[in-house]
Amino acid sequence: MPAATDQNFQDYKRAEAKALEIMREMKQTTPRTVDIELALLVAVFELHKTKLPGAAISKIVQGHLAVLAEHYAQPAPPPPTA
C-alpha cells in the first residue's frame, strides 16, 4: 500500500491532468487568454467560498503562485567561457 504522501501526490497528478485537459478545452472556447485566466481563478474562489473569506482565498492563490513562479523560472544561463 502506498504511503499517504505517495497517494497525495498521485491524487494531485490526476487533478493536475484534469485541470490541463479543461484548460485545453477552454482554449477551444475562447482565444482570449485573460478569459481563461479569470475563469480558472473564479474556480479556485468557488472551491473555497463556503469556508473562507475572499481575502484568505487570495492569500492561498498568492502562496501557490509564489511556489509555481520558482518552479517555472528559467534556469540561470551558464557562465561565459573564457
User: What secondary structure letter does DSSP report for 52?
Assistant: S
Q: Which domain holds residue 67?
A: 32-71
- Contacts of residue 45, defined as CB under 8 A and 6 or more positions apart, other chains included, come to 54, 57
Q: Mean pLDDT throughout 10-24? A: 95
Residue 61 sits in the same domain as residue 37: yes
Residue 26 sits in the same domain as residue 49: no
Question: Looking at the domain assignment, is residue 44 inside a domain?
Answer: yes
Residue 19 sits in the same domain as residue 47: no
- Contacts of residue 23, defined as CB under 8 A and 6 or more positions apart, other chains included, come to 36, 40
Each residue's pLDDT tens digit, 33-55: 999 999 999 999 999 999 999 99
Question: Looking at the domain assignment, is residue 78 inside a domain?
Answer: no
Note if the pTM is more than 0.85: no
Give the chain's domain count: 2
Higher pLDDT, 78 or 19: 19
User: What secondary structure letter does DSSP report for 51?
Assistant: T
- Integer Cα distance of 61 and 18 in angstroms: 19
Question: Looking at the domain assignment, is residue 63 inside a domain?
Answer: yes
Rg over CA atoms, the chain = 17
